């Protein structure tokens, strides 16, 4: 069997995180510049039916069979074997190499699962179709996050911007003009499962207030989609800022994120907000080619661990 290498990108939620878990719409885009790569190769002279897994970022270097049954890497591999009706586990090595920070709101767990599934299914001679891949990746997300919306695995599998609503058909969207974003890492790691559980507890205590806020976030996501498709940067920035205010109201932001968001806006960002689970992780700022260097410098001065630039090509022919 040949050596197979496959990859998957990170994701960015522009509008609607957390609300999307409860059936509201959310707008998300692929972050193509950050990726995870999975390499599968034959394990020459390895024990028959054993898969050796190495993932430095996850501090894993052991066989599939030695991983706990609830480990999401094991789940991803076993789902592929079951889907392809593989009766005899292949003797191979599986290496995972990720540029995506863990517990930073960028979809690392979904990207790792997708990269594994792509590489292993191709290694076995039956690459998974995207619809099947998305369905299986969602199963690993349930193991990781308990009650995921499915938005992370969907954006990562299709690598296209989407307006996502739980249990509804995927709506692909296209920016009306080229969009430029800076992503700044607060350096605070926070698992999305923790913030999802935190909001669920808040909702149990005060369902009316929380549901009202989540519905407002959903409305903002729809307004943001319109601005996104029209290439209306000012309106998209306003939607991002409004979304951040509501996320802060739900106590999903933190001092470090608030400082980065304020620094980005003061330096000329059209909009800025947390992206992902919140209470740590990253912020996303909408910038222009003129403002992006000033905003980047401001974010680094405000304590950002790292700052990435990503762009989405607009639909206009002369854009």
The per-residue pLDDT for range 232-248, each reduced to its tens digit, is: 999 999 999 999 999 99
Concerning whether 57 is annotated as a catalytic residue, the answer is no
Q: How far apart are CA 209 and CA 99, in angstroms?
A: 38
pLDDT classification of 318: cutoffs 50, 70, 90: very low
DSSP classification of residue 288:
-
- Domains of the chain as residue ranges with CATH: 4-164 (3.30.230.10), 175-312 (3.30.70.890)
Query: ∠ at Cα 280 (242, 302), nearest 5°?
Result: 80
Q: Burial level of 221, CB count in 10 A (0-12/13-18/19+)? A: buried
pTM equals: 0.92
Task: Please report the pLDDT score of residue 317 as a whole number.
Answer: 42
Q: How far apart are CA 28 and CA 8, in angstroms?
A: 16
In 3D space, the residue among 130, 99, 105 whose CA is nearest the CA of residue 37 turns out to be 99
Q: Which conformational region is residue 295 in: left (phi greater than 0), alpha (psi within -120 to 50 degrees), or beta?
A: alpha
The per-residue pLDDT for range 74-115, each reduced to its tens digit, is: 999 999 999 999 999 999 999 999 999 988 889 999 999 999
Q: Which of 152, 185, 251, 319 is catalytic?
A: 152
């Amino acid at each position: 069997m040949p050596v197979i290498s496959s990859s998957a990108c990170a994701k960015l939620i522009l509008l609607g995180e957390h609300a999307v878990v409860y059936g509201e719409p959310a707008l998300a885009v692929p972050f193509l510049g950050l990726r995870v790569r999975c390499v599968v190769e034959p394990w020459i002279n390895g024990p028959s039916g054993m898969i050796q897994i190495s993932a430095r970022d996850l501090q894993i270097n052991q066989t599939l069979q030695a991983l706990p049954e609830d480990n999401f890497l094991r789940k991803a591999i076993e789902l592929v074997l079951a889907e392809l009706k593989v009766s005899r586990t292949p003797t191979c090595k599986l290496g995972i190499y990720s540029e995506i920070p863990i517990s930073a709101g960028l979809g690392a767990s979904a990207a790792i699962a997708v990269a594994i599934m792509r590489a292993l299914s191709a290694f076995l001679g039956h690459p998974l179709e995207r619809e099947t891949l998305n369905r299986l990746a969602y199963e690993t997300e349930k193991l990781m996050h308990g009650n995921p919306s499915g938005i992370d695995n969907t954006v990562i599998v299709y690598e296209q911007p989407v307006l996502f609503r739980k249990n509804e058909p995927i709506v692909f969207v296209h920016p009306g003009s080229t969009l430029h974003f800076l992503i700044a890492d607060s350096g605070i790691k926070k698992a999305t499962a923790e913030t999802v559980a935190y909001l669920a507890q808040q909702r149990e205590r005060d369902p009316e207030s929380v549901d009202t806020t989540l519905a407002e976030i959903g409305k903002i996501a729809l307004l943001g989609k319109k601005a996104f498709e029209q290439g209306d940067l000012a309106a998209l920035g306003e939607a991002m800022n409004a979304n951040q205010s509501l996320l802060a109201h739900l106590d999903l932001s933190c001092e470090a994120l608030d400082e980065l968001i304020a620094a980005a806006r003061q330096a000329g960002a059209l909009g800025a907000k947390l992206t992902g689970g919140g209470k740590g992780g990253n912020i996303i700022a909408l910038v222009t080619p003129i403002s992006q260097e000033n905003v980047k410098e401001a974010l680094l001065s405000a304590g950002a661990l790292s700052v990435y630039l990503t762009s989405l090509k607009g639909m206009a022919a002369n854009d």
